[in-house]
Amino acid sequence: MRNTENNHVSITQLADSLVAKIKPKLSQFKTEEDLRIAFEKILEPISRELGIRPEPKYEKSIYHGRADALHGQVVIEYEPPCAFRTNKNIRHAFEQLVGYIQGLSKETKETLFLFGTKFVGVGFDGEKIFFVNYVGDKRPKTELDAEDFAIRGPYDFALESARTLITYLRALARLPLTAENLANRFGPQSEIAQKGVSAFVDAMVNWSNPRVGVFFKEWKRLFGIVYGEQFGGGADKKTAALAEIYGLPVESDFQVILFCVHTYFALLMKLISAELLLLEETGLSSSFSSQLLHCTKENLENQLTDIESGGIYSRRGITNFLEGDFFQWYLETLSSPRLEEAIREIARGLSEFEPATTIIDPDSTRDLLKRLYQYLVPDVVRHNLGEYYTPDWLAELVLNEVGYEGDIRKRLLDPACGSGTFLVLAIQRAKAYAKEKNEPVIETVKNILANIWGFDLNPLAVIAARTNTNCI
C-alpha cells in the first residue's frame, strides 16, 4: 500500500484496499452484525493511517435509537448483506440515519453547519452504499425536518464510493476549509495573524538587506498605480486602524505594515494552494503544512524557497501561479527567530484544516479568500484605498443578467477580477453545463482554460483569484 515516492498512502490506495478486502467476504456474512464487525475491523487501520480521532463508538444511544457505528461525525447504518436491492430497505435505512443526525444535533446542541452539515449518514449493506446529506435552508437551526435531507446513491461499493466514504471520515474529523473558518483562524484578531504580521514587520525593519529594499520599492511602485494618491504613508486614520488591529505602534509606517499584511496573506494563499495540489498526490494521510511545521530549519528554508520560486506548482503543470512575485522578500530575513517561529505557527494553523472540503462541498469554498482579506485589511483602509469586493449574490445576478448559463463555448472576461468572484461562479456554471451535456472532463477543463479569463492590476488579487479557482 505504500507509495515509494512520497511514503504516503494515497486515498485511491486506501479505497482500493477497502473494497478488495470486503468484497470477497460478502458471501460469508449472514447478518448485518457479521458485516459490521468485519468492515469495522478493516476500517480500523485506515483510520489510524488517516490520523482520525476519536475512536469510533458502537451501538451509540441517540434520541431516535441506537446507531450502529459513529465515527466522529459520520454515522454508519449497517443493513443485512444485499438488503439495498429493495427500495423498502433503502428507505428504512435512510429514515434511521435522518433520525440519528437529528438526535445528534440536539445532543450536541449545535447547528447543522460544517460544509453542509456537521453530520453525514452512511448506509451500507456490503454490496451498495449511500450517503445522507443536509440540503435544507442554509440558516443556522437546530430543529430539522426529514425534508432537509437527501440521499446520494445507492452506489455499488467500488473504488469511487469507497473514496467518498474515506474522504468523509477524514474531513469530518478536521476543520473544514471554508471562508468563515479561515477568517476565524487567520483573521487579524487571531494570535497567528498578530504574531505573523508583527514578525514580518520586525524582519522588515531589523533584519532586511538591500535586496528587500528592492522588493519593497517595486511593491510601492505597483500599488501606487493600483491605489493612487491615497496610498501615501503618514499618520492618518488608515495608519492608526491598521496598526491598532495588529497591535503595532501607532507611529508605524503605513506602507510597511500593509506590505507585511500583504506578505502574510500571500504566504497563506501559497500554502493553501500547495495543500490542494498535494491532496490527491500524497493522499489524505499527508499534510504539506505539517511537513513544514516539523522539518528542520534548513529544510524549512528549502521548502519555502521552492514555493516562492514556483517550483512546487510548475512541477504539476501550473506555470503561471507566481509571476515576478515581490512577496518572497521574507526569504532574505529567515535568520530572524521571530519570523521562523511565526511561519511555523501559520503552518500549524493550516495543518488543522481539511483541504478535501473542496471535493466534498465545492459551494462552501467558493471565493475562499475574499472574506479573509476583508478582515485582514479594515474597511476604513480598504475603502480609503478604493477597494470594494463584489458580494456573491450580486455576481450571480450579473451573470444571470448577461445570460451566462455556463455554455463553455462562450467566452467570459472579467477585466478587474479581484479575488475571482465572477470567475469562480462562471467556472461552477461551466462545469455544471458540461456535466449536463455529458462532455468529457478533459474537454471541459480545456474549454474553461480557453474561455474564462480574468485579469487585475493588483498582484495580490491575482494570486487570490488563482487560489480560489484552484479550489474548484
User: Long-range contacts made by residues 52-59, C-beta under 8 angstroms, separation at least 24?
Assistant: 52/169, 52/170, 52/173, 53/173
Q: Write phi, then psi, for 55 (nearest 5 degrees).
A: -65, 150
The most confident of 227-241, 361-375, 453-467, by mean pLDDT: 453-467
What is the spatial distance between Cα 40 and Cα 302, in angstroms, rounded to a whole number?
41
Confidence at residue 276, expressed as pLDDT on a 0 to 100 scale: 76
Q: Based on the fold, state whether residues 193 and 107 are members of the same structural domain.
A: no
Render pLDDT for 76-134 as a digit per residue (tens, 0 to 9): 999 999 999 999 999 999 999 988 888 877 765 544 443 344 688 999 999 999 999 88
From 388, 417, 451, the end of a domain falls on 388
What is the spatial distance between Cα 158 and Cα 456, in angstroms, rounded to a whole number?
44
For position 19, which CATH number holds?
3.90.1570
CA angle 187, 285, 266 (to 5 degrees): 30
The answer to which of 99-103, 239-243, 468-472 has the lowest mean pLDDT is 468-472
Render pLDDT for 126-155 as a digit per residue (tens, 0 to 9): 999 999 988 776 555 556 677 788 898 999
Q: Supply 439's cell numbers.
A: 462532455
**Mean pLDDT for all residues in the chain:** 82
Confidence at residue 317, expressed as pLDDT on a 0 to 100 scale: 72
Confidence at residue 18, expressed as pLDDT on a 0 to 100 scale: 92
Q: Are 204 and 260 contacting, i.e. CB atoms less than 8 angstroms apart?
A: yes
For the segment 238-262, the average pLDDT, to the nearest whole number, is 87
What DSSP state is assigned to residue 141? Answer: -
Render pLDDT for 156-212 as a digit per residue (tens, 0 to 9): 999 889 988 988 887 766 667 777 778 888 988 889 999 999 999 999 999 989 999
Q: Based on the fold, state whether residues 47 and 101 are members of the same structural domain.
A: yes
What is the spatial distance between Cα 236 and Cα 253, in angstroms, rounded to a whole number?
10
Q: Which residues, including other chains, have CB under 8 Å from residue 198's CB and lie 6 or more apart?
A: 246, 247, 248, 338, 342
Q: Based on the fold, state whether residues 348 and 300 are members of the same structural domain.
A: yes
Domain assignment present for 366: yes
Q: Based on the fold, state whether residues 253 and 338 are members of the same structural domain.
A: yes
Confidence at residue 12, expressed as pLDDT on a 0 to 100 scale: 78
Number of domains comprising the chain:
3
The parent domain of residue 345 ranges over 175-388
For the segment 344-360, the average pLDDT, to the nearest whole number, is 75
Q: Are 96 and 65 contacting, i.e. CB atoms less than 8 angstroms apart?
A: yes
pLDDT beyond 80 at 59: no
324 or 400, which is more confident?
A: 400
What pTM, to 2 d.p., does this model score?
A: 0.67
User: Long-range contacts made by residues 338-341, C-beta under 8 angstroms, separation at least 24?
Assistant: 338/198, 338/199, 338/202, 338/203, 339/199, 339/200, 339/202, 339/203, 339/207, 340/297, 340/300, 341/195, 341/199
Q: Based on the fold, state whether residues 161 and 206 are members of the same structural domain.
A: no
Q: Based on the fold, state whether residues 384 and 456 are members of the same structural domain.
A: no
Q: Which residues, including other chains, have CB under 8 Å from residue 64's CB and lie 6 or more apart?
A: 96, 99, 100, 102, 103
Domain assignment present for 2: no
From 388, 405, 440, the end of a domain falls on 388
78 or 246, which is more confident?
A: 78
pLDDT beyond 50 at 286: yes
